[in-house]
Amino acid sequence: MRRRSLGIGFSPLERRRELIVELATLADQRGYDKVALGEGWSWDVHLLLAEIAAKTENLQLVSAVVSAFSRTPGSIAMSAATLSVQTGGRYALGLGASSQALTEGFHDTAYEKPVSQLRRTIEQTRTLLRGERLELARGARALRLGTESVPTVPIYVAALSPRALQLVGELAEGWLPFLVPATQLPAFVAEIERGRSRRSADLGPRIDVLPAVPTLVCGDAVRAREVMSAMLSTYLLAMGEFYGPFLERIGFRDEVGAIRAANGRPGDGVVPAGGERLLVEQTIFGTPSSARDQLERWYQAGADSPLLTLPPGAPEDLLRETIEAMAPAV
């Protein structure tokens, strides 16, 4: 039987650096296994993970995720090797193709062939972490990573499209989905399995499923729903044309339409009754007892290590309450 584990996660939209470090430290004390940090256009994920590493002892530190367009494989490998050695092997590298809006609007880089770019980044980064030389496209003299080799750094991949999911099955140790409803996990895992035929035996058979699940738990279930509704509607309406069309394609067209119709502006934060199914299947919210029942559904759907992703900007007392209420030791 595969061991269940549990982590916490932070959205790239959470900008309260000191609070992130404080909550990660609390999670370490309460028996969580992982902390996962997103990266957008604010804090550098590797530097922030290093700060957390200095104040924790047991958490696996996951970059969830680094964009394949924001750094070269060489710079990613240097950061991964440094964090792995500094933390005694606690670092896991999460990679993804990011989005056109972030890649072009912040990094001023063309968003072209994202799955191919993700493949190249995974393969070259892993080559460097093994202490090997790259096969270069420009005919230059290939160099090695100048540190000790760290081939054991796991690589987790954020993927939603069929091609990217098959890449997980071929090249990764884990999958990092976000806003994939619990009921849909088995279908996505089946797509990952299609990539196994090209998988190297060196990687081993295990592919962990680590869904980022927006979560808020408190004694006031109505308040928890309000905060979670604001987070979900923000991602659907204010984060570019990505998550809405994706959810429509996988069977939630009516729910997405209801949420769009109920919000005059992206910041209104309304999930009407017509969008309730999407809210319930994508998130965990409510009182401690009901939230633990909801978490169980994610394990039953195939999650190995749900990442309870705290809503950005939510009141600090609610975030602490969530970590305390859902702690594995409770």
Q: How many helices (H) and strands (E) does the chain have?
A: 13, 10
- Note the pLDDT tens digit of each residue in 15-43: 999 999 999 999 999 999 999 999 989 99
* pLDDT at site 272: 96
* pLDDT at site 138: 78
Q: Which domains does the chain have, with CATH numbers?
A: 7-216+287-326 (3.20.20.30), 220-285 (no CATH)
Query: Cβ of 27: how many Cβ atoms within 10 Å?
Result: 27
Instruction: Retrieve residue 163's tokens.
Output: 């091609």
* pLDDT at site 330: 58
- Residue 131, sorted as left (phi over 0), alpha (psi -120 to 50) or beta, turns out to be left
Question: Mean pLDDT by 10-residue block, N- to C-terminus, for the chain (330 residues)?
Answer: 85 96 98 96 95 98 96 97 97 94 89 96 97 87 92 96 97 97 96 96 95 96 94 85 88 95 89 95 94 96 97 96 90
List CB contacts of 190: < 8 A, sequence separation 6 or more: none
* pLDDT at site 139: 80
Q: Cα 140–198–126 angle (5° rounding)? A: 40
